[in-house]
Amino acid sequence: MFVPFLFELRKRKVKVGLQEATALARALSMGLHDSSLDGFYHVARALCVHTETDLDAFDEAFLFAFKGVEGRSLDLVKELDEWLRDPKMRKELSPDELAMLQHLSLEELRRMFEERMKEQKERHDGGNRWIGTGGTSAFGAHGAHPTGLRVGPQGGGRSAMAVADARVYRPYRSDLVLDVRQIEVALRKLRVFAREGLELELDIDATIDETARNAGELEVVLRAPKKSNVRVLLVMDVGGSMDPHAELVSQLFSAAKRASNFRELKTYYFHNCIYGKVYESETFREAVRVPDLLHHCTRDWKLVMVGDAAMHPAELLGGGGWYGQGDDGGERTAGARWMQLLSDHFDKSCWLNPDSPSYWRGGTAEMLASVFPMYHMTLEGLGEAMAHLSKGPPRKRR
């Protein structure tokens, strides 16, 4: 009966499959759900939700899949909501009348609210006891009570101590802006290992194979230990439209410097677009020519470009002012050609953009997205970028 529910979870990108289905079936056969829908909800959530980011999606899928079971209660909620949105307007009370109303604590409000919910059978307006509208009851909407509990839409008096259906906590989200710790965790996904050095590590599989071929006589096989082989070239846009993102880029820079899975890291700066040179500091005083940079950074380096990719088209398609002129005073080279040169040189490259993807359509951001795979600079986007750099197929040469 729960198979459609699992498909509903997958539709909402909750990662469930045969393993979760088998575990859920086993839990049901053991009676862990206490033969109740609430019990099934808690068991299914424990087995199917692997990250906090999927909690809301799970609740939505559960509500959709089992709406037939809970249909009557949902109809009641809808009816109550429609009633509260069509209130009887309250009369204005004088300060003396307001002072005469009973002042309640939050604990008393919750207790009394639960009692009223069990006892109330119909709609009430203008009263002083039941959950209703326009009265002096401590529960409802559009009423007057100095320490009430609002049920339904905001009435305008703003005197409620609490809201019955308020969500106090927001769900965890994978598209939140990063902090240094989150960036460090995401960067660890970029892992490439190579065996280097002296053969000092026991190769168990090879030892077993060689021993078997040697008629059971032990044949020890050694191999070089695995070492991180990730070399990262981090090139960051600074100044101008990147100023609002300075703190975020600084966090990325700090996390990259502290990353233990990088064998080597080189960092450089540019402004808007690269025109033959990058710079070792944000002051643009220590220039490094792009050909020299590519000579020292081989194809297996991972290129990470950071910037909003926002500039005047002339900066990308033209020579870029004084920055585009070569050391010999020769012909200027368009910024787009320098960007394409960088993309073609490295087997794996990506662009991290702190701007929302809604700003990437059209203009220079769309042009650069056709040169570099572009990812949003969020937890999810950074994870996708690291997966691309470590596991994705090499980019085709243009």
The CATH number that applies at residue 326 is 3.40.50
Q: Do 49 and 105 have their domain in common? A: no
Residues 286 and 376 in one domain: yes
130 and 77 in a single domain? The answer is: yes
Do residue 244 and residue 379 come from a single domain? yes
Which amino acid belongs to residue 384? E
Residue % of the chain over a pLDDT of 90: 15
Q: What is the pLDDT of residue 375?
A: 94
Q: Going by C-beta distance under 8 Å and a sequence separation of 6 or more, which residues neighbour residue 215?
A: none
Q: Are residues 101 and 203 in the same domain?
A: no
Q: Average the pLDDT over 50-59 and give the result.
A: 81
- Residue 195's DSSP bridge partners are 226
- Residue 14, in any domain of the structure: yes
Query: Which of residues 175, 208, 228 is at a domain's end?
Result: 228
- With respect to residue 56, please indicate whether it lies within any of the assigned structural domains: yes
| 179 in a structural domain | no
Token output for 21:
């289905």
Strand partners of residue 149:
139, 162
Is residue 77 located within the same domain as residue 140? Answer: yes
User: Which among 69, 104, 122 is the end of a domain?
Assistant: 69
Domains held by the chain: number: 4
Give the structural domain span for 127.
73-163
**Domain match, 46 and 141 both:** no
Quick one: 130 exposed, middle or buried, by C-beta within 10 A (0-12, 13-18, 19+)? middle
Q: Identify which has the larger pLDDT, 155 or 299.
A: 299
Please indicate, yes or no, if residue 240 is contained in any of the structural domains: yes
Give the C-alpha distances (Å, rounded to integers) separating 54 from 4, 57, 226: 18, 5, 35
Same domain as 89, residue 61: no
Check residues 132 and 220 and name the one with the higher pLDDT: 220
Q: Are residues 132 and 220 in the same domain?
A: no
Q: Which of 71-75, 162-166, 310-314 has the highest mean pLDDT?
A: 310-314
- Would you say residue 188 lies in a domain? no
Question: Does residue 173 fall inside a structural domain?
Answer: no
Q: pLDDT confidence of 67, banded at 50, 70, 90?
A: low
User: Does a structural domain hold residue 184?
Assistant: no
Alpha helical stretches, state H, the chain? 3-11, 18-29, 37-48, 55-65, 71-84, 95-100, 106-119, 180-187, 204-213, 246-258, 290-296, 313-317, 335-345, 363-369, 379-391
357, part of any domain: yes
Looking at per-residue confidence, does 268 or 107 come out higher? Answer: 268
Q: Are residues 369 and 238 in the same domain?
A: yes
Residue-wise pLDDT for 168-188, tens only, equals 333 434 444 456 666 777 777
Q: Are 229 and 194 in contact (CB under 8 A)?
A: yes
Strand partners, 304: 234, 350
Query: How confident is the model at residue 79, as a pLDDT?
Result: 66
**Better pLDDT: 37 or 79:** 37
The Cα–Cα gap between 87 and 155 comes to 9
- Averaged pLDDT for residues 130-150: 59
Same domain for 216 and 353, yes or no, is no
If asked whether residues 267 and 358 sit together in one domain, one would say: yes
Residue 351, pLDDT score = 95
